[in-house]
A and B are shown apart, each in its own frame.
Chain A
Amino acid sequence: MSNQNKKAKFSLILSRVLAYGVVIFLCVLCLFFFVLLILMSSKSNSQLQGAFTLTWGGHFLENLKNAWTDVSINIPRGMFNSLIVALCSALITTYFSALTAYGVHVYNFKMKNVVFTFIMAIMMIPSQVSAVGFIQLAYKFGLTNKLWLLIVPGIAAPVVFFYMKQYLESVLPIEMVEAARIDGSNEFRIFNEIVLPIMKPAVAVQMIFSFVSSWNNFFMPALLLTKKEYKTVPIMIAQLRSADYSKFDMGKVFMFILLAILPVMIVYTILSKSIIKGVTSGSVKG
């Protein structure tokens, strides 16, 4: 018996060592690129034009100051705009996708399969051409420089819907919805107060994803937001890269790229805490 215990303990230690080994290796790999970015942002423009070396450039604070005071951009303003767009997008996208997915998943209605198939289909149409069409329509209707135009279309997000639907399929016990109905809750309350909390991990995951993709989005905003006061971070980074020769400074560009990552990391850290274990545990049978 004690021999078996020992064996189990040994195997646990071995698995832990292996597990830590794998995780640490991957973390080092990922951190390497981050370190590389930090090194880049410590170099002056002429250092960056020459051969790249894995050394500290010594211009970190200077780049920070130059980027912060560059008159063609306004970093706090850009961060604020990006934050507004990305946060609102994340909230709207995840809430309405969860709502749609719940509607399709829980209820039996005539069009159920058609709706599901249709949403899956539009998810697969390459979006590049329609993005250009969207921009042209926006110009035609004079809808440039409107932040909401980058947010509201997120209500219809097929990919997020698909995820929510799949998540519900694997976690939502129908019994729970029915129990709530017997208690006399109306359907909206059931969704908002019972289902949404169960979906918290899924919502957090998709909020992270849509926040990040909105934060890094360049193509559409660059054409739709042309006024200085509405520009988002990626547009400003592109603007630094587009500067004329007397002001062009890759050191500033890398510095801004580095700065742009920090807010996302904060949002990520907060949201990833919501990806927690065993939300449905126990509540089903109760």
Chain B
Amino acid sequence: MAKGNKHRKSVSYAKWAYIFIAPFFISYIIFTLVPQALTVYNSFFENYQNGLQQIGPNFVGLGNYVKLLTPDKAGTIDFLRYFGNAMGMWIAGAIPQFLIALLLAVLFTSARLNLKGQGIAKTIIYMPNLIMASAFSMLIFALFSNVGPINKWLVASGIIEKSFDFLSYKIPVRTIIAFMNFIMWFGNTTIVLMAGIMGIDQSLFESANIDGANSVHVFFDITLPLLMPILSYALITSLIGGIQMFDVPQVISNGKGTPNMTSTTVIMMLNNYLSTSKNYGMAGALSVMLFIITGILSMFVYRMLAKQYKK
């Protein structure tokens, strides 16, 4: 629809565009530009604090990037390994998150089903998002500790003989992190998608109903294509959140990526660089790398969904 309007004379309104986007850019330039530009700038410098003593800034060219991408003796590049960790845990949480959110969004908006008690349900599924990640992690600790109720129950019912240290092994730790991400965010995604579906012109659904299309067809032929812009928003922001996954694995693994750095994410690495030594050099290089990767992946997702949308 929007395409057809392109050749109409809308140039005279261009000044309004600049007026409308001006506040955004003014605020960006004042508050974010300098720190963000410094992030990029510092990635080419050795710049950190040793205690309270400032080291640098000394220009090192691409030195920080090289350091970040140099494999260790065993041949692993930690940056990529941590990136893989985050992606693995993101995907494990995002698949159920999106499937369930889509399902719920459709159920909640379905005129045919006309579910009762939606208001309460919508509040309840959003509640995990209101609990701070650190508080949520404390609940998980209590639940899964060696002397916690889950272990007690498993032992009492004879399933296992001795308490199992859930938070020390790779698969359980990653599963718990993925599950927490899922439970904290599926309500959020549901709301986004629901608002998207509700924004769709209702007459389209009405005419589909008259034509006697079944709900599966309505979903794939009307809802999904029209929801694509919102779905791509949800997917891309979730992807960015996944790449930048931090607080849940940080608290659950006590900042050390238990076990053997298999739950360490790139931002946890960044946090190590930043927290004690204010290592702007390495942290900057890491941010730029992450930015490039995020850009490429997002572009890929965006294109893929846009293609779907045009179909």
Q: Name B's interface SS.
A: helix
Give how many A residues have a beta carbon under 8 Å from the other chain's beta carbons: 101
Residue B220 CB within 8 A of the other chain? no
Q: A130-B32, A156-B24 are in contact. Are A31 and B124 (CB under 8 A)?
A: yes
Residue A179 CB within 8 A of the other chain? no
User: Per-residue CB proximity of A100-119 to B under 8 Å, as 1/0?
Assistant: 10111111111010010001
Q: A36-B139, A120-B298, A272-B122 are in contact. Are A26 and B100 (CB under 8 A)?
A: yes
User: Using Cβ atoms and an 8 Å threshold, which residues of chain A touch B244?
Assistant: 126
Give how many B residues have a beta carbon under 8 Å from the other chain's beta carbons: 104
Bound together, the chains give a CA A140 to CA B112 distance in angstroms of 60
Q: Are B240 and A124 in contact, CB atoms less than 8 angstroms apart?
A: yes
Q: A27-B121, A51-B147, A52-B142 are in contact. Are A103 and B17 (CB under 8 A)?
A: yes
Query: Which of these, B35, B104, B123, B284, contacts A131 with CB under 8 Å?
Result: B35
Residue B291 CB within 8 A of the other chain? yes
Bound together, the chains give a CA A276 to CA B115 distance in angstroms of 15
Query: Which of these, B27, B199, B230, B236, contacts A280 with CB under 8 Å?
Result: B199
Stretch among A66-74, A80-88, A169-177, A223-231 lining the B interface:
A169-177
Residues of chain A from 19 to 60 with CB closer than 8 A to chain B in the complex: 19-20, 22-23, 26-27, 29-31, 33-34, 36-37, 40, 50-54
Q: Are B122 and A265 in contact, CB atoms less than 8 angstroms apart?
A: no
Bound together, the chains give a CA A282 to CA B196 distance in angstroms of 17
Q: Are A279 and B203 in contact, CB atoms less than 8 angstroms apart?
A: no
Q: Name A's interface SS.
A: helix
Residue B218 CB within 8 A of the other chain? no
Q: Are B23 and A170 in contact, CB atoms less than 8 angstroms apart?
A: no
User: Using Cβ atoms and an 8 Å threshold, which residues of chain A touch B131?
Assistant: 33-34, 37, 257, 261
Q: A16-B113, A26-B100 are in contact. Are A153 and B23 (CB under 8 A)?
A: no
Chain A residue nearest to B266 (CB atoms) is A126
Distance to closest chain B CB from A139 (angstroms): 13
- Closest 8 interchain pairs by CB? A103-B20, A133-B35, A107-B17, A155-B27, A130-B35, A51-B147, A281-B202, A278-B202
Which residues of B line the A interface, CB within 8 A? 1-2, 5-6, 10-11, 13-14, 16-21, 23-28, 30-32, 34-36, 38-39, 42, 100, 103-104, 107, 109-110, 112-113, 115, 119-132, 135-136, 138-139, 142-143, 145, 147-149, 152, 183, 186-188, 191-192, 194-196, 198-203, 226-230, 232-233, 236-237, 240, 244, 267, 270-271, 274, 278, 280, 283-284, 286-287, 290-291, 294-295, 298
